[in-house]
Amino acid sequence: MTLDARQAPALENMLNETRTFPPSTDFAAQANAHQELIDQAQTDRLEFWAEQARKHVTWKVPFTKTLDWSNPPFATWFEDGKLNAAYNAVDRHVAAGNGDRVALHFEGEPGDTRSVTYADLQREVSRAANALAALGVQTGDRVVIYLPMIVEAVVAMLACARIGAAHSVVFGGFSADALRSRIADAGAKLVITADGGYRRGRATALKPAVDEALSGETPVEKVVVVRRTGQDTDWTDGRDVWWHDLVEAADIEHTPVWVDAEHPLFILYTSGTTGNPKGILHTTGGYLTQTAYTHYNVFDLKAETDVYWCTADIGWITGHSYVVYGPLLNGATQVIYEGTPDTPHQGRWWEIIEKYKVSLFYTAPTAIRTCMKWGEDIPGKYDLTSLRVLGSVGESINPEAWMWYRRVIGGDNAPIVDTWWQTETGAIMISPLPGLTSTKPGSAQRPLPGISAEVVNDNAEAVPNGSGGYLVLNEPWPSMLRGIWGDPQRYIDTYWSRFKDLYFAGDGAKKDDDGDVWLLGRVDDVMNVSGHRLSTMEIESALVSHEAVAEAAVVGASDDTTGQAVVAFVILREDHAALAQSEEGSAQVQETLRAHVAKEIGPIAKPRTILVVPELPKTRSGKIMRRLLRDVAENRAVGDATTLADSSVMDLIADGLSARG
Ligand code: WTA
């Protein structure tokens, strides 16, 4: 694991970037965040967090302890407090007289719409909670949710939270196999899914993947199915239940289960450096405190007047923290959209912004770059003047995309918040504060008030301004992961062992002359494709599980649109090797293997390119030198190959590739 400047070409201009954009006086005058927030956090960090926890969260039993860090890296926050996440996200707004405020403007891909107020949401969540309880779901159980971006997805998550059952949302784009392993790891009792959802103009089935995932031995007893598309659906009597039958019959009154602050709220699986996805565990009190605090300050939310839209799917952490918990805790009105940005036309997002007068918009750099490619005359057709804050998340945003976002979408006026965080951190950690920070295109800049981060060298020493190193977090934070589900040792090994007493994020970073942080990409074997985390090992093990493949090595190569793209090098088994001799045969091998990866993990993991090679470059100890393969994948001169066990391998690979041209 070294800092090898792997995304060097893409980052070169980033590191020469010197433009800054100070906040306008108008914005600054009305901003939620102000200098006092920074000062308070600096004066007494723990008291600051206790105050945020009291300000943004309603407690059934107030906490008296803020942080217990006596057994690092296992933290507890607000430990003796009791609360309920769904009560905080929904009921308290109704109790405060805001029941008529729209919580969700749902926009289906085919154009169907539905607006749900906080009072509606309270009824729906209560009914769903009663329904789940009637099916035997209890406090402490795990429920897997495998749904499209529809209102029921939000309701299902909150219904689990209401009864104190941990949800584990699996992105609808993951395959049956991926779903099966997550269900097994979480020990889920129940799955909530849909017949299907709309994507790219057609109904895509979801339920068959659930049926396949549950074949054979499974901990799952019941499957609740939302009818979204109305398509034909196989049915297992005694196991499958329609959501509408169940929920419509359920009582609209439900008393939330008050849980301890450290009660599990959810498990979310994410890719790590090894083959098995990790179940990242988040608990209740600290997570809610930080998601609400960040959503309020980073997006400058004015709940009465703003319309907020985060384009993330609930299958990812961004959907958990900035579609469900952060905005709903803050009583925001938001848009959720089911489909793709170019269905039925490439202006769909901008049309939605115009229609609902979206004022706060949160998306990913890959989406911005895609829209740049489509051309600025497309957003130019819509009225985007309602926008007042623009957010970015998922990967570094290159200065060109940042400038385009600011000029074309933000009317040269809306501040951009480039937010760095992870599934593990639960909430935003490093970001400009609109109204306070002079923003810089491509930099996430400063840890938020209350957060402590550093860039260190191999010896865990802070690097001076102007230098690069590894991003670490050097104080616990409220929404930090509490561990990896069922594997405390892996939690310690993965995050707390690289540097003593420091949380190692896995990202390279640089501090500029002002001390602002610029993220430089992953320094481990995790790839970032369209803002989605994929593990090289996971895709390699999917490839070698195919009968034609003897060995595989996967790298992330830089890609203009998706940030990185998956490039796989495979050695075929002898009995299949002949296949790849002809151009046609080799195209066929590629297609077969791409489909196989889609089946094993999901379409998002499909390699962009699969190269059949005779050998793989390995060190004498047998470790694949991915750095050299990345050079090949990015059409660069191959770097230092002197540590290879067999130095002719790279020539063999190059010859093979050029022969096929
Ligand atoms: C990357 C997504 C640069 C980073 C919330 C991190 C970023 C990984 C940024 C986490 C950003 C996320 N600038 N890189 N603003 N935001 N990343 O768990 O490599 O899906 O470690 O969480 O995405 O991805 P995850």
DSSP string, 50-86: HHHHHHH---SB--S--EEEEETTEEEESTT-EE-HH
Eight-state DSSP code of residue 597: H
Atom 6 of ligand 1, nearest CA residue: 422
Separation of 426 CA from ligand 1 center, angstroms? 11
CA distances from 545 to 125, 340, 525 (A): 42, 31, 20
Judge whether 437 is annotated as a binding position: no
What's the pLDDT at 661?
42
Eight-state DSSP code of residue 397: P
What's the pLDDT at 2?
42
DSSP alpha helices (H): ranges in 345-487?
A: 348-356, 365-374, 377-380, 399-404
Q: Report residue 435 as tokens.
A: 């109204």
Judge whether 43 is annotated as a binding position: no
- Hey, which of 174, 422, 495, 517 would you mutate to test ligand 1's pocket, going by the most ligand atoms within 8 Å of its Cβ? 422
In which region does residue 362 sit, left (phi positive, over 0), alpha (psi from -120 to 50) or beta (all else)? beta
Low-confidence ranges of the chain (pLDDT < 70): 1-13, 15, 273-275, 656, 658-661
Question: Is 40:48 a contact under the CB 8 Å cutoff?
Answer: yes
pLDDT tens digits, one per residue of 244-254:
999 999 999 99
Separation of 309 CA from ligand 1 center, angstroms? 19
Atom 12 of ligand 1, nearest CA residue: 394
What would you report as the CA-atom Rg of the chain, rounded to the nearest whole angstrom?
Answer: 24
Query: Which atom of ligand 1 sits closest to the CA of residue 532?
Result: 20
Chain CA centroid to CA 445, Å: 20
Which protein residues touch ligand 1 with a CB less than 6 Å away? 270, 316-318, 393-396, 418-423, 444, 505-507, 519, 522, 528, 533
What's the pLDDT at 8?
41
Q: What is the ipTM of this complex?
A: 1.00
In sequence order, the β-bridge partners of residue 68 are 76
Q: What is the distance between the alpha carbons of residues 309 and 291, in angstroms, rounded to a whole number?
A: 15
Question: Is 523:3 a contact under the CB 8 Å cutoff?
Answer: yes
Query: Which atom of ligand 1 sits closest to the CA of residue 418?
Result: 15
Question: Is 660:586 a contact under the CB 8 Å cutoff?
Answer: yes
What's the pLDDT at 620?
77
Judge whether 274 is annotated as a binding position: no
Q: For strand 517-522 and strand 526-529, is the pairing parallel, antiparallel, or unpaired?
A: unpaired
Q: Helix, strand or coil for residue 596?
A: helix
Separation of 299 CA from ligand 1 center, angstroms? 18
Judge whether 396 is annotated as a binding position: no
Separation of 388 CA from ligand 1 center, angstroms? 23
Q: Which secondary-structure segment (H or E) carries 612?
A: strand 609-612
Question: Which residues contact residue 150 at a Cβ distance below 8 angstroms, ignoring those fewer than 6 apart?
Answer: 106, 108, 194, 197, 226, 228, 336, 338
Separation of 26 CA from ligand 1 center, angstroms? 31
Angle at 566 between CA 565 and CA 572, to 5 degrees: 150
Query: Which atom of ligand 1 sits closest to the CA of residue 431?
Result: 15
Q: What is the distance between the alpha carbons of residues 77 and 53, in angstroms, rounded to a whole number?
A: 10
- Hey, which of 267, 395, 484 would you mutate to test ligand 1's pocket, going by the most ligand atoms within 8 Å of its Cβ? 395
Separation of 420 CA from ligand 1 center, angstroms? 6
